[in-house]
Amino acid sequence: MAAGRLTYEERRRIAEGLAAGLAYAEIARRLGRSTSTIVREVARNGGHHRYRANQAEQATRWRARRRPVPHAADLTAGPIAHPAASGGEPESVREFEERFAAMMTGTGIPAMMARVLVCLFAADTGGATAAELVARLRVSPASVSKAVGWLGERGLITRERRGRRERYLIDDHVWYQAWLASLHGMVLWARFTQQGAQLYGEGSPAGARLHTAGQFFRHLHRDMSQSAEHWRHTLAT
């Protein structure tokens, strides 16, 4: 099985394989690479639907130039507690995490945000500092900062300060919190589409279109609110 960095020719064949609908395992077999290598390559460079060989090649070269040297404080932070340390197989765990991140990317979560989210899911404590995430993911502090900001805005993670350090956490209620955050988005969509319908007039094509959109978001908000309330009662029992 081949080792070392992927070449541009291999990236081009990965892109062709994805376009042809091939599974990651089949692409890996044709290239003589491990499936985890292909999953990681795709997840880091836009995901299944956005992967492009040219862009992946350029991004890899950029990362190689910008890869940070760990700060002394980061080296003493210690590794994130990981399932593999509790008896799991390291290779199978890594492969699962890469496939998990690729799945998230394929459903709309940006690649860096997906990697951070998976890292927190896989940590035994459900949390990590920025320094720990930088060391574990081998990315720049700026990338981690942007990712945790994006995840925090959507209610997917919370912050906890311990002395001078800030930890980013994910808990069992994360999807309930994220659901509530998305409810706010539904309210905004309903409000603005209704305002647009009134502005253009419901008798016009634009007004009618906006009115229909407003009805959709109002009904969606109602159904999502009922589901969230049902889940809250389920958690309380």
pLDDT along the chain (237 residues), means of 10: 80 92 89 86 80 84 58 42 49 83 86 91 85 89 92 85 84 73 84 93 93 93 84 67
pLDDT given for residue 81 in this prediction: 46
Alpha-carbon span 60 to 143, nearest angstrom: 15
Three-state DSSP at 159 gives strand
Crossing angle of the two packed helices 24-31 and 35-44, in degrees rounded to 10: 110
pLDDT given for residue 3 in this prediction: 65
With tokens 């020719």, the residue in question is 9
pLDDT given for residue 196 in this prediction: 94
DSSP H/E element including 169: strand 165-169
DSSP string, 169-207: E--TTHHHHHHHHHHHHHHHHHHHHHHHHHHH-TTSHHH
pLDDT given for residue 65 in this prediction: 60
State pTM to two decimals: 0.55
3-state helix, strand, coil in the chain (%, to 5): 70, 5, 25
Farthest-apart Cα atoms in the chain, separation: 66
- DSSP symbol at 156: S
pLDDT given for residue 13 in this prediction: 94
| Tokens (6 digits) for 9 | 């020719």
